[in-house]
Amino acid sequence: METYSGKKIFSGVAIGRIFHYAKVESIISRKKITDVAAEIQRYEQAKEKAITQLKALYEKAVKEVGELNAQIFEVHSMMLGDDDYNDSVHNLISSQSVNSEYAVAMTGDNFADIFANMDDEYFKARAIDVKDISERVIGILSGAKGADNLSEPVIIVADDLAPSETVQMDKSKILGFVTRLGSANSHTAILARTMSIPALIGVDIKSEWNGKMAILDGVGGNIIIEPDEETLRLYEGKKKSEEEQKELLVQLIGKDTVSKSGHKINLYANIGNVTDLGAVLKNDAAGIGLFRSEFIYLEKEDFPTEEEQFKAYKQVAETMSGKKVIIRTLDIGADKQAEYFNLDKEDNPAMGYRAIRICLTQPEIFKTQLRAIFRASAFGTVSIMYPMITSVEEVREIKIIADEVKAELDNVGIPYGDVEQGIMIETPAAVMISDELAKEVDFFSIGTNDLTQYTLAIDRQNSKLDRFYNAHHTAILRMIKMVVDNAHKEGIWAGICGELGADLELTEEFLKMGVDELSVSPGMILPIRKAIRDSIN
């Protein structure tokens, strides 16, 4: 039995086997082989395994996001069966006596270049698909472990996880996360909170842990490898007590979120995609205060179409049955990268070309998303909020584009609802001019993650700075109060959708400030409701 410590991200206890998530090496070594026939057979076996994986992913995707969105996996299967692609791999192995990994990597690069240089936009987009299928086969050949086809619930252990990797995982098979890198404010951490599962960062992980039984202690901040029977019994007892506490919170389902003094507050949930809706309904959220629409983009290998987005937004609106659904327009950039956006590498991406800046400089992308959202608003109570606002001029430009979209829909007779339009307050600039911004919009939603980052001049993705990242800093609390006051002066509401909204130590303070809405991870809905109902404010 061995115990390793880390920084806890979400409390709780997980007991299960470890799945070591290893990425495919970016540099593939060229190796000389002596048995060409055996190497070709090795490639063919890996290819068939990849096709089997893709078929399973297709079936899973059909159930979760519909047949249209699942078709990409069928495309990938067909590409792996392409004669030209397979002939190229075979020829490289035969003529150069090289290993399969190298032959696949070279073939993938060559075919991707051919597609990328074509004039037709459809074929240009296939360059990314060729790279993807090649990486999948290389991963199988090299023994790299993917987490998109898990056979049992596991504790995921990895160096780090990008948002584009976590969105592909089968959330029902994940008991907890343990990473060597990352920060308390990374998107892996946010995902763990959304899923209400224990997570640790900063752990000295070992690849040999793969397949071993472990206990993830999100309360003490430890992971115990191969626990003895006594330790296992102790933590099974802790896990049982934890589940009993959750059962007590279940009694709050259907109850009003109102303090002892009668202060009522809207308690909404944050989600990343349609699959999070089950947790939203289970925990009795009054609505969705933040739909991170960028995850629709991160799940794709090309820009999602208007129809694809419309179906996702419509499904959320209909599922919520008239409860408010606030969709944040895409917040791509910084740590959330989608290759097909072709964003330049930036020295300071958190303050770079991201979010609304992409939308306003590439209005064709923005308009496609807005049309999808407005169309979905005919099927529920949908609101839109825009991220990374720093000026009144930006808001006015956004409103002009939104009006153009509505006029286009009117011209073709497509209905849409009465859509509130608000902005995220997540920059110090927006805080300082919130009195002016309040005259332009229907609501404010304070994004405390980025607001803290920008105010304290701290990169929230840098784990070395976690000790300096103080979300309770007086400056942050004063800013929140200023924003709420300025919103109320203009007759609009103000909420918090950042991670700070789920901080039980600040619930009383937010009630005193007059915050109208808190939007938190689904698993925090009932604990926050209890805190509000116990409050005297």
The string of DSSP codes covering 349-418 is GGGSS-THHHHHHSHHHHHHHHHHHHHHGGGSEEEEEESS---HHHHHHHHHHHHHHHHHHHHTT-----
Q: Please give the single-letter amino acid code of residue 260.
A: K
Q: If phi over 0 gives left and psi between -120 and 50 gives alpha, with beta otherwise, what is residue 491?
A: left
The string of DSSP codes covering 473-520 is -HHHHHHHHHHHHHHHHTT-EEEE-SGGGG-TTSHHHHHHHT--EEEE
Annotated catalytic residue 497:
yes
User: What is the rounded distance in angstroms from the CA atom of residue 351 to the CA atom of residue 333?
Assistant: 9
Sign of CA dihedral 99, 104, 107, 113: negative
User: What is the rounded distance in angstroms from the CA atom of residue 370 to the CA atom of residue 71?
Assistant: 24
Annotated catalytic residue 473:
no
| Strand (E) or helix (H) holding 19 | strand 13-21
**DSSP letter at 329?**
P
* Overall residue count recorded for the chain in this entry: 537
DSSP three-state, residue 298? helix
Q: Considering 20, 90, 359, 497, which one is annotated as catalytic?
A: 497
**Phi, psi values for residue 471, rounded to 5°:** -70, -15
Contacts of 161 (CB under 8 A, 6+ apart): 21, 177, 179, 182, 188
User: What is the rounded distance in angstroms from the CA atom of residue 524 to the CA atom of residue 504?
Assistant: 9
| Strand (E) or helix (H) holding 213 | strand 213-217
User: What is the rounded distance in angstroms from the CA atom of residue 55 to the CA atom of residue 64?
Assistant: 14
Q: If phi over 0 gives left and psi between -120 and 50 gives alpha, with beta otherwise, what is residue 227?
A: beta
Q: Considering 20, 76, 90, 187, which one is annotated as catalytic?
A: 187
> What is the radius of gyration, based on Cα positions, of the chain?
24
Q: Please give the single-letter amino acid code of residue 161.
A: L
Q: Which long-range contacts (CB under 8 A, 24 or more apart) does 463-469 make?
A: 463/7, 463/181, 463/182, 463/183, 463/184, 463/201, 463/202, 465/183, 466/7, 466/183, 466/184, 469/183, 469/184, 469/185
**Token pair of 481 as six digits:** 């109060």
**Token pair of 221 as six digits:** 């901040």
Q: Active-site positions? A: 187, 497
